[in-house]
Amino acid sequence: MKRQSFFFVPFSLKNTFLTSGIIFWLILGVNCCLMLMDGGRDIIPYTMKEISSNGTELSVVLPTYNERENLAVLIPEVEKAFGHLVLEIIVVDDGSMDGTKELLSELNVTFGNIKPIYRKSLGGIGSALRDGYNNASGEFILSSDADMSFPVGDMVKLYQKIKEGYDFVTGYRHGGEGYYEKRTASVKIKYIISRFGNVVVRKLSGIKVRDFSANFRVIRRVKWLELKTKENTNSLLFEMIVKATQKGFLITEIPVHFHERRFGTSKLNLWKEAPKFLIKALKYVFFK
């Protein structure tokens, strides 16, 4: 009889959790070394400026890069959902080459409340969001991905929740009633990595938020101006929650549904960005 080893673990791509976990930790280690060597050069403070309100009730901020097909559906849906409000839609575009600029011009003829911010190159989702937030004039600022991964109906729920008197409301995809739609192999891997990272950050930080990394949130504009954020990567999403907690903002969260993008391909390299996000989050927990 062959002797069995209790320490042998079959390495198979069919074992999604094991495979993604091993790869995640390998990349995390490499990124940790690179970021320590880098010395945080991607953190560039922006000059915060006060923007006078013009009676706008809600500003919706959408960071984009080659999302023309999604925007053609998303913007009319947002306009319909919030048509009863004084609304502005701020599209922060990082040099799209798919006709996004032309589409926004066409849509503005119809709606007249789209404020595009055209940037020459990819500057990171954090800097795009900060540009959008800093140029918002609404009493409330709501941000979402432009790929339609979050339904417009959940945007309405975010807005309704903050109108109850909260300062900051985030959407969560993990646990409770939060949900990832269509559990394909790629979605399962995204879910595992995202949930694992968020659990680690929640446990270490002690902040009772289930989803730190979702760009699906709404904040009072006056409260945003108090945060004085610095991050230009997706770590901004965590930085906002940490600083809002430190300042004693009234924060809550609601469950949301997360879908695969409607059109196009994702620009986010999860294997690269997830470790960076976790490392930055740990820096905030232990050193700030």
**What secondary structure, in 3-state letters, does the chain show?**
CCCCCCCCCCCCCCCHHHHHHHHHHHHHHHHHHHHHHHCCCCCCCCCCCCCCCCCCCEEEEEEECCCHHHHHHHHHHHHHHCCCCCEEEEEEEECCCCCHHHHHHHHHHHHCCEEEEEECCCCCHHHHHHHHHHCCCCCEEEECCCCCCCCHHHHHHHHHHHCCCCCEEEEECCCCCCEECCCCHHHHHHHHHHHHHHHHHHHHHCCCCCCCCCCCEEEEHHHHHHHCCCCCCCCHHHHHHHHHHHCCCCEEEEECEECCCCCCCCCCCHHHHHHHHHHHHHHHHHHC
Q: What is the CATH number of domain 52-287?
A: 3.90.550.10
For 26-64, b where at least 16 C-beta lie within 10 A, e where not — what string?
A: ebbeebeeebeeeeeebeeeeeeeeeeeeebbbbbbbbb
What pLDDT was estimated at residue 255?
A: 94
Q: Tens digit of pLDDT for each residue in 107-127?
A: 999 999 999 999 987 788 999
Tokens of 38: 């880098």
Q: Tens digit of pLDDT for each residue in 205-234?
A: 788 898 888 999 999 999 999 999 998 888
CA distance 119 to 276: 24
* pTM across the whole model: 0.76
| Mean pLDDT value across residues 141-165 | 96
Query: Which position has the higher pLDDT, 1 or 133?
Result: 133
Indicate if the pLDDT at residue 31 is higher than 90.
no
For residue 208, give the amino acid letter: K
What pLDDT was estimated at residue 147?
A: 92
Q: Sorting pLDDT into bands at 50, 70 and 90, what band is 265? A: low
Pick from 40-54, 74-88, 230-244: least confident: 40-54
The domain locations on the chain are: 52-287
